Amino acid sequence: MEITKSSTISTKTSWSLSESTFRSFLDWLDGDEPSDGARYLEMRDRLAWYFDRKNCLNPDDLADETLNRVARRLEEEGEIRSDTPAKYCYTVARFVFLEYLRRPDGKNIALDEGPNIEKTSYLLASPNSDETELNERRHRCLEKCTDSLDPASRNVILRYYLGKQRAKIDNREALAKSLGITTNALTIRACRIRSKLESCVRKCVG
């Protein structure tokens, strides 16, 4: 997995993260189980969704800000032993959120257009041609992302979301049976594939 610090770690202060510190930060997040950066991406995703559930306007930026601060602290202290990495990240995220609330733009919920309107692509259904085009683009991206999955995962995700109501339930039971797993295990598997696809589509749509 390739992770570049330039894309995610940026700071509003003059402090910048060196390559070696970033590597130490990734190792610290991984703990005893090296993940080749997967843990970092997972944590960033969780933090972004945490800020999003708080209706922050720029959840991804705030997630970066949080990880940035943690990395900085790690560099300054050499080690952080007071909490598990995830708990420590959450504690810092809480502070970042409270600071956000004190900012002038932090008190309003963006119900419609946020500052990154050019980058967002969230419109659901509406008559104008831009949105139709966006839906088509999203569909093409999803096809592309689905094609890039291994055949087994592709089969699971497409069959999992096929059908309606009772037919869908029967379909899922049959699918689980054909895979030799429980429906609960199938749900977990489908959920993971869906997350992967969602992330792929988000990058593709831009």
Partner 1 sequence: MNNDIFDKETTQLYLLGLLPGPQTLQYDELSVVDDDFNHFLRNVENDLVDSYINGSMDASTLKNFESFYLASPKRMERVAFARTLYRLADRDPTSRLLTRESLAPAVPGFWDKLRFVLNPARLSVAAVVLVCLIGAAWFALTSRPGPGNSGLSKNEPANLSSAANGVIATELFPPTEPPSHAEIATPANNLRVEKRPAIRKEALNTPTPEQRTAPVVATFVLSPPLRGSQPKNITVASNVERIVFRLELEPSEFSAYRLELRDQSNKVLWSSGKMRSTGSDSRKSLTATVPANLLQARNYVFSVSGIPASGEPEIIGDYPFSVVR
Site for partner 1 in 50-69 (CB under 8 A): 50, 52-55, 57, 59
Which of these, 145, 51, 41, 138, lies nearest to 90 by C-alpha position?
Answer: 51
The neighbour count for residue 95, using CB atoms within 10 Å, is: 11
Q: Which residue of 161, 182, 183, 203 would you call a contact of partner 1, by CB under 8 A? A: 161
Amino acid at 72: R
Question: Measuring CA to CA, how many Å separate 33 from each of 1, 68, 87, 141?
Answer: 15, 22, 17, 33
Q: What is the DSSP letter of 29?
A: H
**Residue 178 engages partner 1 in binding (rule: CB under 8 A):** yes
CB of 4 to partner 1, least distance (A): 22
CB of 125 to partner 1, least distance (A): 4
Which residues inside 32-51 make contact with partner 1, applying CB under 8 A? 43, 46-50
Q: Which residue of 30, 37, 114, 196 would you call a contact of partner 1, by CB under 8 A? A: 114
**Of the ranges 2-10, 12-20, 25-33, 157-165, which one interacts with partner 1 (CB under 8 A)?**
157-165
**Residue 174 engages partner 1 in binding (rule: CB under 8 A):** yes
- CB nearer to partner 1: give 78 or 127: 127
**What is 38-63 written as a DSSP string?**
HHHHHHHHHHHHHHHHTT-S-HHHHH
Q: Is the dihedral of CA 181, 183, 184, 186 positive or negative?
A: positive
Residues 6+ apart with CB under 8 A from 129: none
**Residue 28 engages partner 1 in binding (rule: CB under 8 A):** no
CB of 148 to partner 1, least distance (A): 14
**Residue 70 engages partner 1 in binding (rule: CB under 8 A):** no
- CB nearer to partner 1: give 11 or 155: 155
**What is 139-173 written as a DSSP string?**
HHHHHHHHHTS-HHHHHHHHHHT-S-HHHHHHHHH
CB of 81 to partner 1, least distance (A): 16
**Residue 164 engages partner 1 in binding (rule: CB under 8 A):** yes
- CB nearer to partner 1: give 8 or 121: 121
